[in-house]
Each structure stands twice: as C-alpha cells, then as structure tokens.
Homo-oligomer: A and B are copies of this chain.
Amino acid sequence: MKLVKVIGSVTSTIKDSSLNGFKILLVQCVDVDLSGKNDYFVAVDTVGVGEGELGLIATGSTAKRTDYTKGKNIDATIVARVDKINLEQ
C-alpha cells in the first residue's frame, strides 16, 4: 500500500459503470514526514477518509477485491484511514 493524503475529489458524469456510487477522491502520495510528493492517484473511497486526512491506497488488481469493490473495475482504492504513523526513533 502507499501512504496518501486526500486533497480533493473528482466529479464525473460519463464513466464506466464500475465507478457508479463511489466517491472518487484525488490523493497525493506523501513522504514519511507527511510532505507531499509529486505523485497523484485518483482512488475510490471505501472507508470514509475525509479531505486532508491520511489513508492507505491499494493499487492494481488488489484494488478491486476489497470489501466494497469486489468485482468492480477499479485500480486504486483507499483501504485504510491512518490514525497514526509510528516512526522508529
């Protein structure tokens, strides 16, 4: 999984039917110091992560096998809301 921050959302009327009913979020990969990296994904939200919050995304074939995306044609899914990052001292 990749550590990401939710920075916005995407509105789309014409889309593949697999995306219907999902909130489509724009997420930015972040460094361990939480600074943003120049790497973005558009991911569906399955756990209720709010804008500005941290989450984990699964990509590739894994993204379409979560509790809420089973059988859906999705290649990036937010699979966890991050409460805390514990860095080694």
A82 and B11 form a contact (CB under 8 A) = yes
Interface residues of A in 16-56 (CB under 8 A from B): 16-19, 24, 26, 28, 31-32, 37-38, 40-43, 46-48, 51-52, 56
What is the CA–CA distance of A13 and B53 in the complex, to the nearest angstrom?
Answer: 14
User: How many of chain A's residues have a CB under 8 angstroms from any CB in B?
Assistant: 58
Would you give the 0/1 interface string for A61-80, flagging 1 where the beta carbon is closer than 8 Å to chain B? 11111110000011110011
**Complex partner residue of A3 from B14, B42, B82, CB under 8 angstroms:** B42
What is the CA–CA distance of A14 and B48 in the complex, to the nearest angstrom?
Answer: 8
Asked if A46 meets B16 with Cβ closer than 8 Å, knowing A52-B88, A61-B62, A64-B62, the reply is yes
What is the CA–CA distance of A28 and B12 in the complex, to the nearest angstrom?
Answer: 19
A62 and B74 form a contact (CB under 8 A) = yes
